[in-house]
Amino acid sequence: MKSVICPYCGFGCRLRVNPETLTVIPDKTSPVNRGRICPKGLRATEFAVHRDRLKKPLKAVGRKFIPISWSQAIGEISHKLLEIRELYGPDAVAFIASSKCSNEENYLLQKIARLFGTNNIDNCARLCHESSVHALKATLGMGVQTNPYEDLEKFNAILIWGYNPAETHPVVMHYISEAKRRNAKVIVVDVRETMSSEWADYFLKIIPGTDIVLANAIMHVIIRDELYDEEFVENMTKGFNEIRMAVRKYTPEYAERITGIRSEIIEEVAKAFALAGSGAVMWGMGITQHVSGVDNVLALIDLALLLGYVGEKGGLYPMRGQNNVQGAAYMGALSEYLPGYVELTDMEFRRRVTRIWNTDKIPTERGLYLTEFFDAIAKGEVLALYVMGENPAVSEANSRKVVEALKKLELLVVQDIFPTKTSRYAHYILPAAAFCEKEGSYMNSERRIQWSSKVCDPPGDAKPDWEILTLLGKALGLPSFDYKMVEEITAEYFKLFPELEDREIEELKTPEGVIIPKKRLHTWSFATPDGKAHFKAVEYILPWETPDDEYPFILVTMRTMNSYNTGEMSLRSPSLAKLMKAPMAEISKEDAKRLGIRDGELIIIETRRGRIRIKAKIGDIKSGVVAVPFHSKVNRITSDALNKAGTPELKFSACKVYKA
């Protein structure tokens, strides 16, 4: 049996795979999943043997793709990239790194971008938890989850906000169930009933986009009744007065009018959470994918700080989505940070980088955000796009606009394991090895770096992403691109990070792996320059599109258990695809009755960007809201308004709903 890291979600389960049969069992020695697994993990290798796998480099000739050799593909791509740089400068090229790929692969792609001369390098963290990164950095000095999963078991209250772990990180429920067995109180805030809300002692069904009002009202009660941790606030934080003033007007009665949650319940939940004595705050896309996304996260951090629920007595859990989204970001595949979330202008770290990369020419200005790439392409500012393991034609908001932009590119390279909706517009498609066909390290949500072994060979001429990038780096004439083994790249990032200097690569291969910078952050001081946590008071702001007479409904998008993101992998896992239900739009009983819509009937959802047809499912959801799974074609019509961190408002578009 060989040990691999699950290729689906960021929880980071370790799986054992039989090299002959490719059957999967959970690893009992893993401190992450402790012998548990979810339906996706159990079927993790199925897509790898699907007949659609890419086996040869392909070049678009007219309307067809023809197979070519690796040397022709890399030769022509590098030639075109250098030509575009020569004529228009390095910022005319943009790179998308992959939260599906290993640390080594993301490290290499961001190194290529930066040595090439641009910070236009980003990954799907932008669509996901970048709001959390910005908010955590501003308040605590570090943009990451603060505590390990194991701490969830010891806290007395768990607040799950805009997050549905029972479907999206199913194995974490074993930790939550252990906490519940010890009588911990679970509070869930969502716009609809979910598999997670079934676990709740308190379920608050909120009007989409009004989360700041609820958080501020909970803080209002806590401050009014003096339930906050005075000692912690006094010794460990700054800005309490600002918070006290800001939440004054957010009385429970005022909050009831805006959030739709009864004031008595707000009072009760505030007291239960504060009096628990310890608590975790876990959140997901219901918080981050709003124009107020950064502020939403700030409000949750403020709440935890008031109660001292950070470090020992509690933890902040922005639960990361993709299997290696945490690693891609840590390795520097973000347009505003160097590896380790270091600011682009940090001189000390730049000197380190210069020593290791043999260059001092990395640009200091932030690059474009992934979500800004497509407008820049439409304007003719970006002419070439290199995409590794990402499917923006489906995953980006307002995707029709994205597709129009892709068609305008002079060079689109897609490096993937499958032909995708994005690769249709590519000039070159490069076949990559899947997770179980290569070696490398991955970082999960609790910042644990774990090693994944090679189980079998890739199909045809497909190569591990790091090998493809090594060829590309060399062809572009970049310094130090002579990697023969993946461990040489691991060794290089070990040298780059001060927190890994004294560690051994071999440690990654143990069941525990290595957690960086350390297991539990902020236990007695914060990572800010003055060592204190900084409260940041926030006010409620309206979503980009508010419902009106023409578009009276709120369109929300979300995930379901057996489908995964854009479906390229999960739909090619036959037994998973069988479990997956066709996407349906959840609508409330009252709205269905008013519009004469029956359960299972076809409806049309229309926004200012277009319309989709989908079957209706009558569910327990706020009236005035319709919730559509991401694996439908919903991104053709979602709002692409961005927040301060560059994340689109995927959770709120004004729409109308009618019978088809």
Ligand X SMILES: Nc1nc2c(c(=O)[nH]1)N[C@H]1C(S)=C(S)[C@@H](COP(=O)(O)OP(=O)(O)OC[C@H]3O[C@@H](n4cnc5c(=O)[nH]c(N)nc54)[C@H](O)[C@@H]3O)O[C@H]1N2
**Interface with ligand X, residue 112, by CB under 6 A:** no
Closest approach, Cβ 164 to ligand X, in A, equals 4
| Cα 327 off chain centre by | 11
Tokens of 526: 């914060």
Tokens 């918070």 belong to which residue?
Answer: 243
Closest approach, Cβ 656 to ligand X, in A, equals 18
Contacts of residue 79, defined as CB under 8 A and 6 or more positions apart, other chains included, come to none
**Interface with Mo ion, residue 321, by CB under 5 A:** yes
Residues 239 and 294: beta-carbon distance below 8 Å: no
**Interface with ligand SF4, residue 303, by CB under 6 A:** no
**Interface with ligand X, residue 164, by CB under 6 A:** yes
Strands 157-161 and 279-283: parallel
Task: Pick from 170, 340, 389, 431 the residue near ligand SF4 by CB under 6 A.
Answer: 170
Angle among Cα 2, 431, 58 to the nearest 5 degrees reads 165
d(CA 308, CA 139): 14
Q: Which does 96 bind (CB under 5 to 8 A by kind): ligand X, ligand SF4, Mo ion, none?
A: none
Stretch that binds ligand SF4, among 4-12, 117-125, 268-276, 497-505 (CB under 6 A): 4-12
Q: Which is nearer to Mo ion, 252 or 321 (CB)?
A: 321
Closest approach, Cβ 41 to ligand SF4, in A, equals 2
SS (H, E, C) 9-52: ECCCCEEEECCCCCCEEECCCCCCCCCCCCHHHHCCCHHHHCCC
Tokens of 452: 């994944």
Q: Which is nearer to ligand SF4, 7 or 547 (CB)?
A: 7
Task: Pick from 6, 471, 627, 650 the residue near ligand SF4 by CB under 6 A.
Answer: 6
Q: Which is nearer to Mo ion, 216 or 296 (CB)?
A: 296
**Interface with ligand X, residue 651, by CB under 6 A:** yes
Strands 553-558 and 653-659: antiparallel
Stretch that binds ligand X, among 14-22, 136-144, 360-368, 556-564 (CB under 6 A): 556-564
Task: Pick from 83, 167, 343, 606 the residue near ligand X by CB under 6 A.
Answer: 167
Q: Which is nearer to Mo ion, 128 or 587 (CB)?
A: 128
d(CA 320, CA 37): 17
What is the total residue count of the chain? 660
Q: Which is nearer to ligand SF4, 99 or 237 (CB)?
A: 99
- Residue 500: closest CA among 438, 446, 447: 447
Q: Which is nearer to ligand SF4, 126 or 448 (CB)?
A: 448
- The helix/strand/coil state of 384 is strand
**Interface with ligand SF4, residue 463, by CB under 6 A:** no
Stretch that binds ligand X, among 149-157, 240-248, 481-489, 557-565 (CB under 6 A): 557-565
Stretch that binds ligand X, among 58-66, 384-392, 498-506, 544-552 (CB under 6 A): 384-392
Tokens of 307: 């109660």
Q: Which is nearer to ligand SF4, 13 or 212 (CB)?
A: 13
Q: Which does 286 bind (CB under 5 to 8 A by kind): ligand X, Mo ion, ligand SF4, none?
A: ligand X
| Cα 580 off chain centre by | 22
Backbone angles phi, psi at 657, to 5 degrees: -130, 130
DSSP conformation class of 567:
S
Closest approach, Cβ 360 to ligand X, in A, equals 30
Closest approach, Cβ 634 to ligand X, in A, equals 5
Q: Please provide the distance, in angstroms rounded to a whole number, between the alpha carbons at the two ends of the chain.
A: 52
Task: Pick from 162, 340, 419, 646 the residue near ligand X by CB under 6 A.
Answer: 162
d(CA 155, CA 160): 13
**Binders in 20-49 for ligand SF4, by CB under 6 A:** 33, 37-38, 40-41
Angle among Cα 306, 310, 316 to the nearest 5 degrees reads 105
Residues 95 and 121: beta-carbon distance below 8 Å: yes
Q: Give the alpha-carbon dihedral of 422, 427, 430, 431, to 10 degrees.
A: 60
- Residue 94: closest CA among 119, 130, 126, 127: 119
Q: Which does 556 bind (CB under 5 to 8 A by kind): Mo ion, ligand X, ligand SF4, none?
A: ligand X
**Interface with ligand X, residue 190, by CB under 6 A:** yes
Tokens 């190194």 belong to which residue?
Answer: 111
Tokens of 28: 């009992």
d(CA 434, CA 569): 10
Q: Which is nearer to ligand X, 332 or 392 (CB)?
A: 392
In which element (H, E) is residue 310 found?
Answer: none
Closest approach, Cβ 370 to Mo ion, in A, equals 12
- Residue 37: closest CA among 47, 25, 23: 25
Q: Which does 191 bind (CB under 5 to 8 A by kind): ligand SF4, ligand X, Mo ion, none?
A: ligand X
Q: Which does 420 bind (CB under 5 to 8 A by kind): ligand SF4, Mo ion, ligand X, none?
A: ligand X
Stretch that binds ligand X, among 231-239, 304-312, 374-382, 389-397 (CB under 6 A): 389-397
Tokens of 495: 């040298």
In 411-545, beta strands by DSSP E: 411-416, 428-431, 440-443, 448-452, 514-515, 533-534
Q: Which does 171 bind (CB under 5 to 8 A by kind): ligand X, Mo ion, ligand SF4, none?
A: ligand SF4
**Interface with ligand X, residue 191, by CB under 6 A:** yes
Counting residues that bind ligand X (by CB under 6 A) gives: 62
Closest approach, Cβ 491 to ligand SF4, in A, equals 27
Q: What is the amino acid identity at position 639?
A: S
Residues 313 and 156: beta-carbon distance below 8 Å: no
Stretch that binds ligand X, among 69-77, 226-234, 432-440, 504-512 (CB under 6 A): 432-440
Site track for ligand X across 113-132, x = CB under 6 A = -----------x--xx----
Q: Which residues bind ligand SF4 (CB under 6 A)?
A: 6, 8-9, 11-13, 33, 37-38, 40-41, 169-171
Residues that bind Mo ion (CB under 5 A): 128, 321
Residues that bind ligand X (CB under 6 A): 9, 98, 100-101, 124, 127-128, 161-164, 167-169, 189-192, 194, 206, 208-209, 211, 284-286, 289, 321-322, 388-392, 395, 415-418, 420, 432, 434-435, 465, 556-559, 561, 563-566, 568-569, 627, 630, 634-635, 638, 650-651
